Amino acid sequence: MVTITKRDLVIKLSNETGLTQQEVFAVVQGTLDSITEELAKGNSVVMRNFGAFQVREVKGKIGRNPKDPSKDVPIPPRAVVKFKPGKEMKEKVARILPVLQEEKV
């Protein structure tokens, strides 16, 4: 398995569409910026067959300082982004399990 970067995606899409890398980058970056802006407003972003991004609250809790376990460290509540993959993505990703198991051997 390899890590695919935004740059890799831009190059791939540029080659597939015939658009320049600058044009593709503007669209990709604009899409990511729009998703981030909507999530920052507390809105959900749903893309059919891909998945849904939702803002959820994680409750505050008491943590422990690993260097001094006798001291409690309050961890405040915070908002986090959760991603729920769509049906099509789930199905495609589920097919790679045999490949992942082979890599472990």
Q: What is the pLDDT of residue 100?
A: 62
Report whether 19 contacts 13 (CB < 8 A): yes
Q: What is the pLDDT of residue 66?
A: 85
Q: What is the pLDDT of residue 39?
A: 97
What parts of the chain have a pLDDT lower than 70?
A: 99-105
Q: What is the pLDDT of residue 37?
A: 97
Q: What is the pTM of this model?
A: 0.76
What is d(CA 97, CA 103) in angstroms, rounded to the nearest whole number? 10
Q: Which residue segments constitute the domains of the chain, with CATH numbers given?
A: 1-40 (no CATH), 44-105 (4.10.520.10)
DSSP 29-41: HHHHHHHHHHHHT
Q: What is the pLDDT of residue 105?
A: 56
Q: What is the pLDDT of residue 101?
A: 62
Helix, strand, or coil (residue 93):
helix
